């Protein structure tokens, strides 16, 4: 070993012998001092005896070290000297204002004699050897005899981070500091209590649930602050220091739970982006988990989990309030400032523990100050939000009042309109009753007269009544289809003779003795129209009937022709003209309105329900045509009609060819009503048909399978099997003859279903003989 190495070894062995702690002399002490500046420290395994510590040579100076200590599984020791150089006995007082320890033992030894003194007392004045003290606020004192010097050794163990910011001084100075601490605490409690009572009064008066979340949160965080400082233990809320640790652990997540619920209420997190809602649910769930973890015997897991989770909550609170601020929720500025104040208070508190600062306000009061500022800002934010809600509620109330007034006005208008509609409905029902009963009365009267005195005049009256009744029913059925939006245009080919015959028959039964009817057709009798025969028939019959109604003595003339474009039949034109009373100019635009009547009441000059021309206008629109009206009062009216009469780019439908006229033809009449069947039999026998009757669809299928028929007249609504299904099955047998539907269900939907099932044509009841002959003639039958 070299000389230099030997010198270094000697210095290392001798140095501990000259190591000594700093001395605090109560005689020269003017103000309280921190013992950290005079102490040495030592870290040992737990359960090390004080005798081993006193004789250890491993003590180190605390120079350039902070008084804070992180989490440790070992025992931390401090050593320093206290002395009294005066000739009088003096008391030195110590104040450890935030020990945050699990256990602490204080030992005193006379440096001159080496004796250990058992006279150290804590705040309870209980000898240290009788009960190792556990708590967060420690006070003790040492009575120093005249001209004495003692060595003080302090041990501390904790599952938390520890701070050795211990003040030493005379009893008066430290009593003042302790008193200031208690006074500030009572001031804090009074301030928080005032805010809680104030917000409780607002909660009861406004019924706003957000106040209660605020009250619970502020109460929990205040209790957490007081418990963290050790005051709850000092005030004997619990006697076991172990409970003090558990209360702190439970209050921490409980405070954050109420904080999150309060934030949800005031910041309306449910209206924020999905990320904020997810983080909110995560934080709330995590704090409930932390409540369960707080009951776990070891607090290491709680401490390691709660620290990062609490940071997530704080960041979420600040971010969520910032989002509300950006969306013009300016009351959230105070919410942001409140959480920022609490964050700064916690940071100052922890900084004073770990690093140590000279300002006692930051050292002792930062946590309470931050909590109090947060309580103010959050209460202010809540007040602004409630004020905003009141303004919104007031605006909504005014809007609701205005809407209610508007609704009342609309309701009054609707009631007035409903009353008017009721009047119109009653008038319409009276008109319909009149228009249905009048022709029915004619039918009954003519039948009675025929029984007494058969004559052609009575037969003509009977025909007029039944035809008028049939037209009224057709109009009402068509009106129902329009109202229920079930009207469908069924395009098919049919002969123009069908229209001409229908108009001639209508004119024949409608005209009076002093009325004349002229029908001029410039169209070939063989011309076939591609359109809806039923709708065109109703259209033309209504216009012709109106012409007869308003021309009591005159001529009604109808002219029809076809305009040809590029060699193809394009549009069919009708001019229906009368020389009657005409229509006043101010009413010409209203005649196409539903239920419009030229005259009202019981003195009406003309009959009718007021639906003929409106139905005509609606039909011509569905057929892609147009209708115009020209009228001069007292001179007459001209109605002009145009509509497509041929299918573009379609070949004419093949006309089925019947049997030669000299061969007797056979027809199957399928009808469940025996009276209707009897009438059809007589009509067909007059046309020299052999007739077979079936009273339901199933029998018709059996007959068609075993016999030959040239024609089938098929009812639709029958028992056992309806006409649609019977037609489908007959066509499936290979039947190629003519099947014509004869039914009272004369709607566009029924016509379309008949066509889909395989029927060739459609006749609505009641059946007129001339109409039936014309229909069969179109099939060469």
pLDDT at residue 574, rounded to an integer: 92
What count of other Cβ atoms lies within 10 Å of the Cβ of residue 136? 23
Q: Positive or negative CA dihedral for 226, 228, 230, 232? A: positive
Maximum C-alpha span of the chain: 167
| CATH superfamily membership of 665-778 | Response regulator (3.40.50.2300)
DSSP secondary-structure letter at 135? S
**Contact at 8 Å (CB) between 58 and 40?**
no
C-alpha span between 323 and 326 (Å, rounded): 5
C-alpha span between 51 and 219 (Å, rounded): 47
C-alpha span between 368 and 361 (Å, rounded): 10
> Of 690, 688, 680, 700, which Cα lies nearest the Cα of 765?
680
N-terminal to C-terminal alpha carbon distance within the chain = 144
| Phi and psi torsions of 591, nearest 5° | -65, -20
Two tokens at 33? 């001092």
pLDDT at residue 666, rounded to an integer: 92
pLDDT at residue 660, rounded to an integer: 41
Beta strands in 237-359 (DSSP E): none
pLDDT at residue 448, rounded to an integer: 59
Q: Which CATH architecture has domain 20-174?
A: Sandwich (2.60)
Angle between helices 332-354 and 241-267 (to 10 degrees): 160
Two tokens at 110? 């006379």
C-alpha span between 228 and 234 (Å, rounded): 12
pLDDT at residue 559, rounded to an integer: 93
* Boundaries of every domain in the chain: 20-174, 208-454, 490-644, 665-778
C-alpha span between 730 and 409 (Å, rounded): 63
Q: Which residues contact 759 (CB under 8 A, 6 or more apart)?
A: 714, 727, 739, 740, 741
pLDDT at residue 176, rounded to an integer: 76
CA-to-CA separations, 243 to 56, 239, 248, in angstroms, rounded: 35, 8, 9
| Phi and psi torsions of 236, nearest 5° | 65, 35
Two tokens at 112? 């001159």
CATH number for the domain running over 490-644: 3.30.565.10
pLDDT at residue 740, rounded to an integer: 92
What is the mean pLDDT for each group of 10 consecutive residues in the chain (781 residues)? 41 38 78 83 85 83 72 82 90 73 79 74 36 54 86 80 79 73 78 85 80 84 74 64 71 88 86 92 92 79 82 89 87 85 77 56 68 83 79 84 88 86 68 63 62 66 70 76 79 87 84 86 87 88 86 87 74 90 80 68 54 84 88 88 73 44 76 85 87 91 91 90 93 91 82 89 81 82 78
C-alpha span between 566 and 555 (Å, rounded): 36
DSSP string, 226-245: HHHTTHHHHTTS-S-HHHHH
pLDDT at residue 137, rounded to an integer: 62
Give the burial string for 81-100 (b: 16+ CB within 10 Å, else e). Answer: bbbbeeeeebebbbbbbbbb
Q: Which residues contact 305 (CB under 8 A, 6 or more apart)?
A: 290, 293
C-alpha span between 364 and 105 (Å, rounded): 23
CA angle (330 as vertex; 327, 331 as ends), nearest 5: 130
SS3 89: coil
**Contact at 8 Å (CB) between 506 and 544?**
yes
C-alpha span between 523 and 559 (Å, rounded): 10
pLDDT at residue 91, rounded to an integer: 85
Report the phi/psi class of residue 737: left, alpha or beta, with left for phi > 0 and alpha for psi in -120 to 50: beta
| Residue 194 burial class via C-beta count within 10 angstroms: exposed 0-12, middle 13-18, buried 19 and up | exposed
Two tokens at 137? 């606020």
């Amino acid at each position: 070993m070299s000389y230099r190495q030997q010198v270094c070894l000697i210095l290392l062995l001798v140095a501990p012998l000259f190591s000594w702690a700093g001395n605090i002399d109560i005689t020269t002490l003017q103000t309280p001092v921190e013992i950290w500046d005079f102490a040495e420290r030592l870290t040992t395994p737990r359960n090390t005896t004080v005798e081993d510590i006193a004789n250890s040579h491993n003590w180190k100076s605390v120079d350039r070290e902070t008084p804070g200590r992180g989490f440790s599984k070992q025992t931390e020791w401090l050593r320093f000297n206290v002395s009294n150089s005066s000739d009088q006995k003096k008391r030195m007082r110590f104040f450890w204002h935030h020990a945050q320890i699990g256990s602490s033992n204080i030992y005193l030894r006379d440096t001159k004699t080496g004796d250990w003194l058992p006279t150290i007392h804590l705040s309870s004045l209980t000898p240290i050897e009788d009960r190792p003290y556990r708590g967060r606020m420690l006070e003790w004192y040492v009575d120093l005899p005249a001209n004495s010097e003692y060595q003080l050794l302090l041990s501390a163990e904790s599952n938390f981070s520890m701070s050795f910011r211990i003040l030493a001084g005379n009893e008066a100075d430290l009593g003042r500091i302790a008193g200031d601490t208690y006074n500030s605490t009572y001031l804090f409690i009074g301030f928080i209590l005032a805010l809680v009572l104030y917000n409780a009064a607002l909660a009861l008066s406004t019924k706003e649930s957000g106040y209660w979340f605020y009250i619970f949160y502020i109460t929990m965080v205040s209790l957490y602050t007081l418990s963290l400082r050790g005051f709850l233990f000092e005030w004997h809320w619990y006697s076991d220091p172990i409970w003090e640790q558990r209360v702190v652990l439970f209050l921490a997540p409980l405070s954050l739970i109420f904080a999150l619920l309060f934030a949800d209420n005031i910041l309306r997190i449910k209206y924020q982006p999905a990320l904020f809602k997810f983080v909110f649910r995560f934080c709330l769930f995590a704090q409930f988990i932390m409540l369960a973890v707080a009951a776990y015997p070891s607090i290491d897991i709680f401490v390691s989990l709660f620290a990062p989770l609490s940071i997530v909550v704080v960041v979420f609170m600040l971010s969520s309030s910032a989002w509300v601020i950006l969306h013009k929720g300016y009351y959230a500025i105070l919410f942001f400032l409140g959480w920022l104040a609490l964050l700064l208070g916690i940071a100052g508190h922890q900084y004073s523990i770990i690093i140590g600062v000279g300002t006692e306000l930051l050292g002792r009061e930062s946590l309470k100050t931050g909590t109090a500022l947060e309580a103010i800002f959050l209460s202010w934010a809540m007040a602004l939000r409630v004020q905003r809600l009141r303004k919104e509620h007031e605006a909504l109330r005014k809007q609701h009042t205005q809407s209610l007034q508007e609704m009342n006005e609309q309701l009054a208008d609707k009631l007035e309109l409903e009353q008017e509609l009721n009047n119109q409905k009653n008038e319409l029902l009276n008109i319909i009753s009149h228009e249905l009963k009048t022709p029915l009365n004619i039918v009954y009267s003519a039948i009675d007269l025929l029984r007494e005195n058969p004559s052609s005049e009575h037969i003509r009256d009977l025909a007029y009544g039944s035809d008028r009744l049939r037209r009224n029913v057709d109009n009402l059925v068509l009106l129902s289809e329009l109202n229920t939006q079930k009207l469908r245009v069924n395009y098919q080919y049919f002969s123009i003779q069908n229209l001409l015959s229908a108009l001639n028959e209508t004119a024949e039964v409608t005209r009076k003795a002093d009325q004349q009817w002229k029908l001029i057709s410039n169209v070939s009798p063989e011309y076939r129209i591609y359109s809806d025969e039923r709708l065109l028939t109703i259209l033309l019959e209504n216009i012709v009937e109106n012409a007869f109604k308003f021309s009591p003595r005159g001529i009604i003339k109808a002219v029809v022709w076809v305009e040809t474009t590029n060699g193809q039949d394009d549009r069919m034109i009708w001019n229906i003209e009368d020389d009657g009373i005409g229509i006043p100019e101010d009413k010409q635009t209203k005649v196409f309105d539903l239920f419009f009547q030229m005259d009202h009441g019981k003195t009406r000059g003309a009959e009718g329900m007021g639906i003929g021309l409106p139905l005509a206008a609606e039909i011509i629109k569905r057929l892609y045509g147009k209708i115009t009206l020209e009228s001069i009062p007292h001179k007459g009216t001209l109605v002009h009609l145009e509509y497509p009469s041929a299918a573009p780019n379609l070949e004419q439908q093949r006309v089925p060819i019947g049997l030669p006229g000299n061969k007797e033809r056979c027809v199957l009449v399928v009808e469940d009503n025996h009276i209707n069947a009897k009438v059809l039999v007589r009509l067909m026998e007059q046309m020299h048909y052999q007739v077979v009757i079936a009273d339901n669809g199933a029998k018709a299928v059996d007959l068609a399978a075993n016999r030959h028929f040239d024609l089938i007249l098929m009812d639709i609504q029958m028992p056992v099997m309806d006409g649609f299904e019977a037609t489908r099955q007959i066509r499936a047998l290979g039947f190629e003859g003519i099947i014509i539907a004869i039914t009272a269900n004369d709607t566009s939907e029924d016509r379309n279903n008949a066509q889909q099932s395989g029927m060739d044509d459609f006749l609505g009841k009641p059946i007129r003989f001339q109409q039936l002959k014309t229909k069969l003639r179109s099939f060469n039958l």
